[in-house]
Amino acid sequence: MKIKAQPFPYKFEVSSTALVIIDMQRDFIEPGGFGHALGNDVSLLAGIVPACQAVLSAWRAAGALVVHTRESHLADLSDCPPSKLNRGNPTLRIGDIGPMGRILVAGEPGNQIIAELSPMAGDIVIDKPGKGAFYATPLHQLLQQAGITHLVFMGVTTEVCVQSSMREANDRGYDCLLLADCTESYFPSFKTATLEMMRAQGGIVGWTAQSLDLLTVL
């Protein structure tokens, strides 16, 4: 398959491509979660949910692999270094009790993926302690076992966990596409800059496209 993309068309085969949905969690999307505690307008991130739903539905109908990630930590926070735990001045820090349970702690209500994009049987779900999806996780091994060579990304936030994951994937040899209307930042200018970074210099990290371009070929 080939879809319209920047800086040039993106070619892929569904059988060797995975859809990677980064951190579409209640802690980042809904009021009362970590994103809100940092002082952000979470409605910006919620705005991409319909587009993400459409892509996920079409991807599943095509019988292709779906990967979900969650930024989450052990209950004792032993996998959360002080440099992350103490960063900034939020009203609630990682591990503190918020409206949806302990912030960014595995198993807590707020740490779960939003209902609109809930994982299904056969999906891969990765709990990651860092920004990137490959750091301290089995993701690369699981993708290799599945014969995956290409990755289509969507999720939040564009400039942090999405960009980190896409760069990690690029370093591991995957051809990566980021769906521009299926990713978002609390800071719109950061999203714009990240999209430009990804596709700069002939696609130095990967490609960008609109979800409709993907849906058309699916």
Q: Is 128 a catalytic residue?
A: yes
Q: Average pLDDT, whole number, for the chain?
A: 96
What's the pLDDT score for residue 32? 86
Q: What is the pTM of this model?
A: 0.97
Residue of 23, 27, 175, 181 marked active site: 23
Residue 51 has pLDDT above 80, yes or no: yes
Residue of 52, 161, 176, 182 marked active site: 161
Amino acid (one-letter) located at 38:
L
What is the mean predicted confidence (pLDDT) over 136-140?
A: 98
Q: Is 41 a catalytic residue?
A: no
What is the mean predicted confidence (pLDDT) over 118-131?
A: 97
What is the mean predicted confidence (pLDDT) over 162-174?
A: 98
Q: In 3D, which of 178, 163, 154, 184 has the Cα closest to residue 46?
A: 184
Q: In 3D, which of 207, 150, 158, 155 has the Cα closest to residue 187?
A: 158
Q: How many helices (H) and strands (E) does the chain have?
A: 9, 10
Phi-psi region of 71 (alpha: psi -120 to 50; beta: other; left: phi over 0): beta
Residue 182 has pLDDT above 90, yes or no: yes
Task: Please tell me the distance from the alpha carbon of residue 75 to that of residue 104, in angstroms, as a whole number.
Answer: 9
Q: Is 176 a catalytic residue?
A: no
pLDDT in tens, 93-113: 999 999 999 999 999 999 999
Q: How confident is the model at residue 30 (pLDDT cuts 50, 70, 90)?
A: very high
What's the pLDDT score for residue 89? 77
Task: Please tell me the distance from the alpha carbon of residue 44 to that of residue 27, in angstroms, as a whole number.
Answer: 14
What's the pLDDT score for residue 33? 87
How much of the chain, in percent, has pLDDT values that exceed 90? 92
Residue 177 has pLDDT above 90, yes or no: yes
Residue of 52, 128, 131, 181 marked active site: 128
Q: In 3D, which of 137, 75, 139, 138 has the Cα closest to residue 106?
A: 75
